[in-house]
Structure 1
Amino acid sequence: MTITQKNLLAIGGTIIVLLMLFSWLGLAGSRASQTAGALMILGMTVGSFLNVLIFRLPKMLEYRWRMECADASGQTIAQTAAMTLSRPRSHCPACQTPLAAWQLMPVLSFLLLRGRCANCAAKINPRYPLVELGLGLAFACIGWNYGIQPTTPAYLALIFLLTALALIDCDAKLLPDALTQVLLWSGLACNLFQLFAPLQDAVIGAMAGYLGMWLIAAVFRLCAGKDGLGRGDFKLMAGIGAWLGWQQLPLTLGAGAICSALCGGILIHFKRMNRDTPQAFGPYLIAAACLAMLRGNEIIGWYFSLASGHHNG
């Protein structure tokens, strides 16, 4: 569906209503609603930084790789100012005009600007406010369901990392070590205190996640004569195993593979993608990992109950 000005205004009106609702709940509601409202605002603010990270990190890595390759080959290339997460200032991609502070307000600035640059009237990508709103709602759900307890900051950090990895993989077909390593080590650190899984299960999960994906990739390469998985997928599964434990890996891999096959088949059927076009696998693994995080034990229990019932029958 094409996103028109009317669509954007409708989205904007919905966002305002949600903000007003959560603000009211935060003042007059229960402890759960107050926590949800506060974390929604935090999530939208963090979502603004997430947009910067998604856009800039692949470019920063590409610049560093080019410099390293030039240095290793003895070539001389013109050096430009390296991009960082803080430099240069956020600006309009069309006219390069730096954004004022009020133009950086999550979601609200997009609505005030009516989806266009204040200087050149170029359209602003609606993904920016949608990412901010999506992360805000995800944080609000965590606050509503878990309140403030030791696992809450861990849930928020995990959602942030997984969202960043999924969107970067969608855009650049890349799962950066800078994020997958943080995912791995933070998962093991959290499970020192058994926040998600016993430490032994987390360590086994990290090992099994990496080695399992490596084995699948090796078998695929042997059968198809080409690579089917990137090493970033190995590290992503290691990180997921470190957070959730080895028990959730079969569900994550199985559900991720099924979703990838279904979406790929639909895109090929409607000629939106060629059969030989590489497809990012990370977002499907991440979506499946979120399912495993929220309902993994129930799904596994239901599966074994079903299998046991069929066996007994």
Structure 2
Amino acid sequence: MLELPLWAWILAAGVLGLLVGSFLNVVILRLPERMKAEWRRDALDTLEMSSEEQTMPPGIVREPSHCPHCKHPLAVKDNIPLFGWLLLGGRCRYCKVPISIQYPLVELLGGVLSAVVVWKFGPTWPAVAGLVFTWMLIALSGIDFRTQYLPDQLNYPLLWMGLLLSVLSMFVLPATAIIGAAIGYLSLWSVYWLFKLLTGKEGMGYGDFKLLAALGAWMGPTALLPVVLLSSLIGALVGGALILLRKHERDIPMPFGPFIAAAGWTWFVAGDWLWQHYAQLTGMR
């Protein structure tokens, strides 16, 4: 790769992350709607039921960005990641309806996390893989947060990428990746069925199993227990805070995918550091 100082690579990764974050907003908003429309169409075809030709929601790549309220296409300057939202004062230029805070948050998250990945791995191929890993986790988290669904269209590619990268021994060996994927899936699958048998309720969805399987493929089985513990801790803190602030009812289900993704990304970039400090605190060697 080009001979540049590390800070330049980190800065470039941050800018790239902002740009990709803008695209991730499109994925988060449009992919679930496209999936629902396709499910509806396929269901009608399977049942051989006639229906009026439905209008498909906007595609992810071809259709330009527009205001979700007034449908007016956005100007180029309005699409500048993060700064476009700030310059508009958080409102649509045309209909003055408030723009969701999700847009700048996802863009900022993409920029910051991308910079951290390059700071961790340097200008290397593992950093490139880590960027893709990061962006896919952001998209999965955003979709699950909004819809409580983790789409296979993202979970499976993430899983297969982890398995294929293990052939290059980029992060783990092939056998380690396969075992990690299997244990990741079966562990949450077992918890799901045990909880359902005991309570008659579903505690989580199959998308959570697949996401943990993907994390196991990227980092191996030894990362799974810390990831589950971290995700449970993050979920408890966030859920408790929302209940205390009265912004979330106790009986309303909360998506677990974003917490798994946050814990998985944290362990991916800082697992060695966290384990080292945990060992020092507990006197382990």
Relative to the length of structure 2, the TM-score reads: 0.91
Q: Are residue 240 (structure 1) and residue 240 (structure 2) matched?
A: no
Change (3 A) 1:114 1:260: closer
Could you tell me which runs of 5 or more consecutive residues in structure 2 were left unpaired when the two chains were aligned: none
Q: Give the corresponding residue for 1:13.
A: none
The alignment yields a C-alpha RMSD, in angstroms, of 2.0
Q: Are residue 46 (structure 1) and residue 16 (structure 2) matched?
A: no
Q: Are residue 112 (structure 1) and residue 87 (structure 2) matched?
A: yes
How do 1:290-305 residues align onto structure 2 when only pairs under 5 Å count?
A: 290-303=265-278
Q: Give the corresponding residue for 2:46.
A: 72
Q: Give the corresponding residue for 1:207.
A: 182
Q: In the TM superposition, what is the alpha-carbon distance from 1:54 to its structure 2 partner?
A: 0.4
Contact 1:32 1:145 in 2 (8 A): no
Q: Which amino acid aligns with 1:78?
A: E
How do 1:1-313 residues align onto structure 2 when only pairs under 5 Å count?
A: 31-83=5-57, 84-303=59-278
SS in 2 for 1:66: helix
Change (3 A) 1:146 1:300: closer
Contact 1:41 1:136 in 2 (8 A): yes
Query: CA–CA distance in 1 between the matches of 2:94 and 2:247?
Result: 35
Q: Which amino acid aligns with 1:288?
A: A
Map Cα deviations across residues 98-155 of structure 1 (whole Å, 9 max, x no partner).
Answer: 1123322222322333332222222222321221122112212222333211211011
Q: Which amino acid aligns with 1:49?
A: F
Query: CA–CA distance in 2 between the matches of 1:253 and 1:63?
Result: 33
Query: CA–CA distance in 2 between the matches of 1:57 and 1:304?
Result: 42
Query: CA–CA distance in 1 between the matches of 2:166 and 2:240?
Result: 38
Contact 1:253 1:285 in 2 (8 A): yes
Q: In the TM superposition, what is the alpha-carbon distance from 1:308 to its structure 2 partner?
A: 6.1
Q: In the TM superposition, what is the alpha-carbon distance from 1:87 to its structure 2 partner?
A: 4.3
Change (3 A) 1:97 1:69: same
Q: Which amino acid aligns with 1:225?
A: G
Q: Give the corresponding residue for 1:27.
A: none
Q: Which amino acid aligns with 2:183?
A: A
Q: Which amino acid aligns with 1:294?
A: V
Which range is displaced more, 137-146 or 214-223?
A: 137-146
Contact 2:117 2:269 in 1 (8 A): no
1 or 2 for the larger relative contact order (CA 8 Å, sep ≥6)?
A: 2
Query: CA–CA distance in 2 between the matches of 1:48 and 1:220?
Result: 38
SS in 1 for 2:254: coil
Query: CA–CA distance in 2 between the matches of 1:44 and 1:305?
Result: 37
Q: In the TM superposition, what is the alpha-carbon distance from 1:202 to its structure 2 partner?
A: 0.8
Query: CA–CA distance in 2 between the matches of 1:44 and 1:243?
Result: 24
Q: In the TM superposition, what is the alpha-carbon distance from 1:288 to its structure 2 partner?
A: 1.1
SS in 2 for 1:69: helix
Q: Which amino acid aligns with 1:81?
A: T
Which range is displaced more, 249-258 or 152-161?
A: 249-258
How many residue pairs end up in the alignment? 281
Map Cα deviations across residues 268-305 of structure 1 (whole Å, 9 max, x no partner).
Answer: 34433233211100011111112211222343455456
Could you tell me which runs of 5 or more consecutive residues in structure 1 were left unpaired when the two chains were aligned: 1-29
Which range is displaced more, 32-41 or 142-151?
A: 142-151
Q: Give the corresponding residue for 1:9.
A: none
The percentage of aligned residue pairs carrying the same residue is: 37
Q: Which amino acid aligns with 1:217?
A: Y
SS in 1 for 2:197: helix
Query: CA–CA distance in 2 between the matches of 1:149 and 1:281?
Result: 32
Query: CA–CA distance in 1 between the matches of 2:201 and 2:213?
Result: 23
SS in 2 for 1:98: coil
Query: CA–CA distance in 1 between the matches of 2:279 and 2:76?
Result: 54
Q: Which amino acid aligns with 1:42?
A: L
Q: Which amino acid aligns with 2:233?
A: I
